[in-house]
Amino acid sequence: SSLLLMSGVVVTVGLCRRLARRRLRSRPLLFAFLVEMFSTFQICACTNELSLLGNVEPKPHTALTLTYGFTVLHGLTLAGSACNPCGTLQPMWGGGTPLGLGGLKIAAQFVAAVLARAFMHFIWSLEMAEPHLGALSQGCSSPMQTTEMQAFCIELLFSVVFQLAVLRAESVNPKYRVHLIALLITMLVYAGGNLTGAIFNPVLALSLHADCFYDKFLSYSLVYWIAPCLGKFLII
């Protein structure tokens, strides 16, 4: 049921992106906003569902396999979208993306994170699959299982490694690039998932753990917002 749900999200987002591409080419700002919002919605919604499958046996093989598979799928279906404020900052800093357009895309990413969380909570409330049972009663299921300073350093390091890999992979054939990036993300999740969740994406962190941001805003904003952005600026 979870796989069908995530596949349905991917197909629906693909149709929405295609419709926007056909109808809104004459309105570039609205087109850019909607495409970035749809793309980020797909990643956040699918990752919310994947987060419920972490305890599926055999552990952690099932969760890591699904992480790799859906990361490849996102890479193939969401070409041209950053889905991460850190990825949007680089072209803004280098002058390749106007400040207004970059800010619009980042706004679209955060809107998508909130919408994806609301959508998944509605789906979970229907309790259509076994992993959904009790999912809404968890509250802040904190991914931070270490000290705040260690978590900050881990997310900073993972952001630097990921952004460097993305830059180095730009010259690789796209059909191989998505597999390289997916393999790297899977390795990072395996290495640090039990300590911080290995998120290194501010909007994804908000979508996954909004309750934790509400309870401990300063701590979580430092680890899951500031650390990844600082990693991007170190790369720049």
C-alpha 176/C-alpha 128 separation (Å) is 36
User: What pLDDT is stored for residue 10 in this prediction?
Assistant: 97
Given a cut of 50, the residues of the chain with pLDDT beneath it are none
For domain 2-234, the CATH class is mainly alpha
**Nearest CA-CA partner of 202 in 189, 221, 184, 230:** 221
Report the predicted TM-score, pTM, of the whole model to 2 decimal places: 0.94
User: What pLDDT is stored for residue 43 in this prediction?
Assistant: 97
Report domain extents, the chain.
2-234
User: What pLDDT is stored for residue 229 in this prediction?
Assistant: 93
User: What pLDDT is stored for residue 160 in this prediction?
Assistant: 94
Cβ contact 81:35 at 8 Å: yes
C-alpha 143/C-alpha 155 separation (Å) is 12
pLDDT digits (tens, 9 = 90+) for 33-76: 999 999 999 999 999 999 988 777 778 888 899 999 999 999 99
Single-letter amino acid code for the residue at 86 = C
